[in-house]
Amino acid sequence: MHIPAMPSPALYGWIMAKRVIAVAAVLAAMGMGVAVRAADGGGPVPDGKVHKFELKDQQFWIDGAPLRLMAGEIHPGRVPFEFWEDRVKKIKAMGLNTVSVYIFWNQIEPREGEFVFEGETDVRRFVKLCQENGLWVVLRVGTYVCAEWEFGGYPAWMLKYHDMKLRSDDPKFLGYCQKYVDAVGKQLADLQVNHGGPILMTQFENEYGRIDPYLYKLKDIFVKGGFDGQLMTCDHSGGVWNTEKGIPGVLRGYNGLKQQTAGRIEDARRVNHGMPMFSPEVYTGWFALWGGVEKPVSEEQQVSDTQWLLDQKNVSWAYYVVDGGTNFGYWSGSNAGRPMQTTYDYAAPIDEMGRVTPKYRALREVFEKDLHLDLPPVPADPKVIEVPAFSLKSAGTVVERLPSTGISTENVESMEDVGEGYGFIVYRKKFEKGVKGKLVLPVVRDYAWVMVNGEVVGEGMTSPPPRGAKGDAALTERVSAEVDQAGACEVEILVHNLGRTSSPFDQGRSRKGMIENPTLDGKTLTGWEIVPLPLEHGDEGLRAASGNGAAKGPGFWSGTFNVSEVGETYLDLSKWHFGVVWVNGHNLGRFWDVGSSRALYLPSVWEKAGANEITVLELGTPPAEAEVKGVAKMVETKVKPFAPYWVKGEKKGMRHVAGQGDEGGGVQ
């Protein structure tokens, strides 16, 4: 491949169109990871050698040549690691020169002091793949990331420390930050461009919105952890962002740049001490909440925005996202108590299965024609299969399969206080002489089922009230049920953690499970047994089912399906109500009939030729025909909107109230 030489200064004087000037700047230094012909006779790519990366004169420079970053964001934690190389090659073939990468603290340190760098957290392998394919990297470490990810990336175990304040200069919190950054630094610090790697910049905070001592201390933590190259943060505009200058030497990116926000380019330059304009998040779509729908950016709009960006002098950006992936397991977060759907497809150029979309091809054409790039062929789309409908059989209720003993405690405790991070938790109490009256769960998060002897008598989803809400807004956290059972019986309360807020400004509201003791006709109930129920890999570790027929109440369903050859597929769950699915022990995530997406993505690498085991936890009423099938595309149905919280003192009921109560959810 050959990139034409940069036009001479004389030719520059003749070419006045700012579009051509912008293109020339790109031609001088991007090159999609292969040799670049620039004015000085050559241009660097990540090749294992040290390169000089600078930010001056409102633009990026690499070894003295101007560089425009045109990046695509992808999250390794949302894509099976076996597919990483395919995705990286597709990013390169689209015409981009940089990969932007969020990594998630809670995946890397799932238990306090235990750092894991393998599989989806083998971040060093991912960055090396980018380097091997001639792509620069913008590394977004966090420590807080948002990303609609569970707890914004913070580990759930941090919530057991009630006196520790997250995202602040609390010494205890900063101590944990230092340990995490040190661990990541050992994996990646030597892959910074100033050490011979592809990492141009490292982000150490996200959408914090102000400059204070915490930000300075966090910056020092990254430097101490080995990140001695270019550091950055990012924000949306608004508040002090437009007027308050950032930390000297630290780039401050602006999220959400598009044609309608053109004036903010100068805002960014004003607060950035003469540094370049970089937008880490130029959106390709938007996330989908349960009860809400995705708001994709159309192909035509994306192309128009991209052509506009190319017209802007010294403006760099990253598409958020180029490949969204999937919130497998329990990793989806929430926005002000409204949980995210499992899919994170995001209307991205590369879809959830790894297929290139018309948007991808349209953008590739822009880069190929406007920048005269000779791009590599696009890697083939993956093989997609369909699976004929197969039946599942009841495998017992949750209650009947619980362990016989749990944690005895006088008062209920949160999920985090008993050492559990994700999934479900059960609170149970025996009543020797029966139970009758109104049972109220004053504060419970998120979805609770009240059962007596395993039979559901009440259920409901709760949510922390919007920030600053008063009065009746507190009722959003209540679930109640009328109970009336004579003789010895047991009350069981099953609680499902639907994802902690992705904007954790108040960690107290992020604790899951039962937060306060239930009451019966106003009298506080004490003396409970707690059974943590993480269900990481399905129903393993639980007691065997009784075999007494179809489950009543939340229960498991199991079966087997056969494939002659593995391939990508969506499991159609449109007949089912609400629950979780595991295939061969892999947690595919949640399904729920209030969402627009009614199927779950099953990656081929989690299948095997021949028999595959599937377990479905149905938390509501199972379908008349307990069947599942594999289909070639996402099953989408009309949303059942809801907003399970109070807004401005008025109960909105089962109606989606867009934007109300959002905390840092982003700006389109």
- Residue 469 shares a structural domain with residue 530: yes
Give every CB contact of residue 419 below 8 A, 6+ residues apart in sequence: 157, 160, 532
User: What is the pLDDT at residue 522?
Assistant: 96
Q: How far is 237 from 207, CA to CA, in rounded Å?
A: 9
**Please, where are the H alpha helices in 191-237?**
213-224
Q: Write the CATH number for 152.
A: 3.20.20.80
Lowest-pLDDT range of 3-17, 97-111, 491-505, 515-529: 3-17
Whether residue 111 is predicted with pLDDT greater than 50 in this model: the reply is yes
In a domain, 662, yes or no: no
264's enclosing H/E stretch is helix 264-271
In a domain, 649, yes or no: no
In a domain, 233, yes or no: yes
Tell how strand 98-102 and strand 70-74 pair up.
parallel
- The 10s digit of each residue's pLDDT in 119-150 is 999 999 999 999 999 999 999 999 999 999 99
User: What is the pLDDT at residue 475?
Assistant: 45
- Residue 569 shares a structural domain with residue 456: no
Q: Write the CATH number for 494.
A: 2.60.120.260
Tell me the average pLDDT across 439-453: 94
- Residue 183 shares a structural domain with residue 321: yes
- The 10s digit of each residue's pLDDT in 583-636 is 999 999 999 999 999 999 999 999 999 999 999 999 999 999 999 999 999 999
- The 10s digit of each residue's pLDDT in 535-568 is 999 998 999 988 765 557 899 999 999 999 999 9
Q: How far is 498 from 334, CA to CA, in rounded Å?
A: 8
Domain with 588, as residue range(s), is 387-393+551-631
Total domain count, the chain: 3
- Residue 205 shares a structural domain with residue 353: yes
Q: How far is 211 from 585, CA to CA, in rounded Å?
A: 45
- Calculate the CA dihedral of residues 361, 363, 364, 365 and round it to 10 degrees: 90
Contact status, residue 472 vs residue 304, Cβ threshold 8 Å:
no
- Residue 90 shares a structural domain with residue 207: yes
- Residue 532 shares a structural domain with residue 555: no
Mean pLDDT of the chain: 87
Q: How far is 395 from 593, CA to CA, in rounded Å?
A: 22
- The 10s digit of each residue's pLDDT in 365-406 is 999 999 999 999 999 999 999 999 999 999 999 999 999 999
Whether residue 113 is predicted with pLDDT greater than 60 in this model: the reply is yes
Q: How far is 347 from 344, CA to CA, in rounded Å?
A: 9
- Residue 436 shares a structural domain with residue 475: yes
What pTM did the predictor assign? 0.89
Catalytic residues: 207, 281
- The 10s digit of each residue's pLDDT in 478-528 is 789 999 999 999 999 999 999 999 986 677 789 999 999 999 999 999 999
